[in-house]
Amino acid sequence: MTTVLIRADASLSIGSGHVMRCRTLARELKRRGAAITFLCRRQRGDLISLLEQEFQVLALPELPLANTQQPDKQTLHGRELYAAWLGCSQAQDATDCLQALAQANISSASWLVVDHYGLDAHWEGHLLAGLAVDGAPRLLVIDDLADRPHQADLLLDQNFFGEATEDRYSGLVPAHCCQLLGPHYALLGPEYAQLHPLVPPRTELRRVLVFFGGVDPANLTGRSLEALQAPELAHLAVDVVLGLQSPHRQAVAELAARRPHTTLHNPQPSLAGLIARADLAIGAGGATTWERACLGLPSLVVAIADNQLPFARALDEASQIRLLGCSALVSAEQIRQALVDAIQRAWPGTSGYGLTDGWGAARVTSALLGLQRPLQLRPATAADEALLLRWANDPQVRAHSFSPDPIAPADHQRWFQAGLAASNRLLLIATDFNGCRLGQIRFDRQPPASGSGPHEALIDLSLDRCARGQGLAAELVRLGLQAMEQRWGPGAEAVAEVLAGNIASQATFAKAGFRSDPVAPVPPPVSGCDALALEPSCLTLLSDAGSWLNDHLPQLIEALWQRGHAVRWIHHPADLAPGDVCLLLSCGRLLSAEQLALHRHNLVVHESALPQGQGWSPMTWQILEGASQIPITLFGATAELDSGPIYLQHTIDLQGTELVNEWRALQAKATIALCLNWLDRYADVLEQARPQQGKTSHYRRRRPTDSELDPQRSLAEQLNLLRVVDNQRYPAFVELRGRRYELQIQAAKPTSKSTPPHSPLA
């Protein structure tokens, strides 16, 4: 079972937003079978008892927090404020977390999720190191600020910053970190995705929703109700939501009681129902922004925290909301005037409807746990227009398009509406079996150029960021081709135009059975130095599931992480996905040309002086032959066994007494060193590559029967055989008098007169 740890806090100072959005994610993860544990610090206004109704919660000790709300004290801002919210140093918080986990007998996890402005890479490093006994978990950081570094594998910022959204975390996260940015990934409950296509457009302002969070320390709820007392607004129905722990609850209740058509609601399991029936909202610029946007509710927004102001301004400039200002400056009169303006001007107001479809939590969960298959295709509808534009304008998609310029919304709208029902276009949306939209594939049918012959259908496809690297693209192509044949019959031929440098797409279509037939000019290859040498890469580590080397590979993975590389460790070639470099280490299967095409480089480490000693178990065979020096070679994999160009070679020196675990440790050390050397000296190593030359020899696979001892020969004569047997997997044995006897061998503890085997890497 996948174990996920979540570190988030709520308090009267912090508010409830961090915990509530993490609860939404936790619910989706739990629905997918993950075990969830929250780590929350006890403090006034925490939501620990609420979380305990659904999840395991480890409560950290309560600490005296700085009171950031007292008017007689200097107001805290920025990092100083967020440190006060934490209540202690990051090191102390990390220690408290690890102690709580130890007391709960939790020593490992698949993912660590952190959503706290007071924590950064320093705390993350402590936690990851403390949970690394069985392999460090991967890290998801949920952030809004982009003001501090993180060690994230996955980063979620659900806020909108216009064109600046993509660059906000440049230099703050590792190069391998997948960034899920914008309201498209907003953590909303499943009811929002269900209601998103169903809520009708607002045509008249009749009902207002007022919600400024569960605490509302600045009492903006009260200011809004004062504004709504105006005679010209008396006809409006008003729903007010406020937490029971709000310090202004009684005053708000009295205002609500004096106003007709006004209902004060206690905290709701979900605001979706109230949002769906409202015509306008007055609220804060926090997470509820995306709930309102998903259901198309026009909003008057007040930024109640410094971090809300930048993205609220961006939304206002994009005409998605109307920003009234920050909480300290917005008056009841200003709110009243904005409501009057909303009544008098043309309706509906701006709503942000196209910013999110409510599937953000499902997309983030797919990035954490993998996609929910089987994949399904359905025809595109008018409701998919905004999502298709988002996918088309993703900077990573534009970088591999024939035109890198973003598509203008007006141009996209004309193209989309004209082609939605066109007979020569097949536009399909890919979803998981729950309906979460993950990508699209399109076929544009063209008549034959010569006037006769088969029609050609030009393919275009794109995937959501959360779905990339999971083998979905080739599956999408195969399903799309089936749909194309059902639409137009078997007479159409599919054609994919791919830039020469788009290795991932080339591999996708090759895996789906397309043949390469370049018609466009091919640009010169990018030099090794420019392409990879100085930049972290996406690496795949492929080893057999039962290999002894797997015990040593975490050392390599940790070293690669420290260098900034993204590493994916798999045991089956079918799980390969596009990347930069594939390391085939202790992998006994040959890859097909299509599988090799998924990576720019495919590397193998082999214990022989190639081309001599090709084949299986070369080090074992050479020890049996009495070799005291074992060459070890790193070379490029090809479709033929052990025949690619040689990049690097080392030699392992043996004393002739090492048993299997000892010489394997030397082999593992040399293997790791060669891989790191290749990556660290990429450009130089490529220049030194040389083809294999000389006499070729080949070792066969070893079988369990090869561990049989000859009872007629002495143990001294068969010492090398005893050195290569594995006591557990293929032990030495002898057949005597019709019975099989297995022998176990191990080295005695060294005495003061003996010298343990030792052989440094040459």
**Residue 451's pLDDT band (boundaries 50, 70, 90)?**
low
Distance of alpha carbon 570 from alpha carbon 557, whole angstroms: 12
pLDDT in tens, 224-266: 999 999 999 999 999 999 988 889 999 999 999 999 999 999 9
Hey, how many other C-beta atoms are within 10 angstroms of the C-beta on 92?
A: 16
Question: Could you give the CA distance from residue 397 to residue 474 in angstroms, rounded to a whole number?
Answer: 16
CATH number at residue 262: 3.40.50.2000
Report residue 713's pLDDT band, with 50, 70 and 90 as the boundaries: very high
Nearest to 2 by CA among 359, 553, 360, 370: 370
pLDDT tens-place string over residues 365-408: 999 998 888 889 999 999 899 999 999 999 888 877 777 888 99
- Domain membership flag for residue 298: yes
Residue 204 lies in a domain: yes
Q: Are residues 441 and 415 in the same domain?
A: yes
> Is 139 in a helix, a strand, or coil?
strand
Best mean pLDDT range from 203-207, 495-499, 563-567: 203-207
Last residue of a domain, one of 699, 717, 741: 699
Please indicate, yes or no, whether residues 217 and 280 belong to a single structural domain of this protein. yes
Query: Are both 442 and 565 inside the same structural domain?
Result: no
Least confident of 19-28, 437-446, 680-689: 680-689
CA–CA dist 29, 2 (Å, integer): 9
- 503 with 380, same domain: the answer is yes
Whether residue 224 sits in one domain with residue 145: no
Instruction: Identify the domain boundary among 149, 181, 213.
Output: 181
364 within some domain: no
What is residue 16's predicted lDDT score, i.e. its pLDDT?
Answer: 83
pLDDT confidence of residue 349:
58
Contact 39, 60 (CB under 8 A): yes
Please, are residues 155 and 127 in contact by the beta-carbon 8 Å criterion? no
Residues 566 and 639 in one domain: yes
With contact defined as beta carbons under 8 Å apart, do 151 and 125 qualify? yes
107 and 236 in a common domain = no
Q: Which residues sit opposite 739 in a β-bridge?
A: 736
Residue pair 92/21 in contact by the 8 Å Cβ criterion: no
Chain centroid offset of residue 106 CA? 23
pLDDT the model gives residue 91 = 92
pLDDT at 593 over 50: yes
Rounded to a whole number, what is the distance in angstroms from the first to the last CA of the chain?
Answer: 43
Residue 24 reports pLDDT greater than 80: yes
The domain containing residue 468 runs over which residues?
371-511
Across the range 671-689, mean pLDDT stands at: 86
Helix, strand, coil distribution of the chain in percent, nearest 5: 35, 20, 45
Residue range 487-539, pLDDT digits in tens: 988 767 788 777 666 666 766 676 666 766 543 333 333 333 333 333 557 88
- How many CB atoms neighbour CB 54 within 10 A? 13
Q: Counting Cβ atoms within 10 Å, is residue 644 exposed (0-12), middle (13-18) or buried (19+)?
A: buried
Closest CA to 311 of 155, 166, 169, 144: 144
CATH of residue 49's domain is 3.40.50.11190
pLDDT over threshold 50, residue 68: no
Average pLDDT, the chain: 86
Q: Is residue 33 part of a domain?
A: yes
pLDDT in tens, 399-412: 777 778 889 999 99
**CA of residue 257 relative to chain centroid, distance:** 48
76 located within any domain: yes
Task: Considering only residues 530 and 465, tell me which one the structure prediction assigns the higher pLDDT.
Answer: 465
Question: Cα(440)–Cα(428) distance, rounded to whole angstroms?
Answer: 6
Statement to judge: residues 165 and 206 lie in one domain? no
Confidence band for 74, pLDDT divided at 50, 70 and 90 = very low
Task: Report the candidate in 543, 562, 540, 559 with the shortest Cα–Cα distance to residue 469.
Answer: 540
What CA–CA distance (Å, rounded) separates 586 from 452? Answer: 53
Cβ proximity of 592 and 611 under 8 Å: no
Residues 573, 542, single domain; the answer is yes
Quick one: pLDDT at residue 73? Answer: 34
Q: What is the pLDDT of residue 525?
A: 32
Structural domains counted in the chain: 4
pLDDT at 124: 94
Task: Report the CATH number at residue 432.
Answer: 3.40.630.30
Query: 300 near 322, Cβ under 8 Å?
Result: yes
Q: Check whether residue 564 and residue 477 sit in a common domain.
A: no
> How high is the pLDDT of residue 290?
95
> Which of 151, 181, 211 marks a domain boundary?
181
* Distance, CA of 96 to CA of 87 (rounded, Å): 12
Residue 464 lies in a domain: yes
Q: What is the DSSP string of 21-43?
A: HHHHHHHHHHHTT-EEEEEEE--
Contact 496, 509 (CB under 8 A): yes
**pLDDT band at residue 301, thresholds of 50, 70 and 90?**
very high
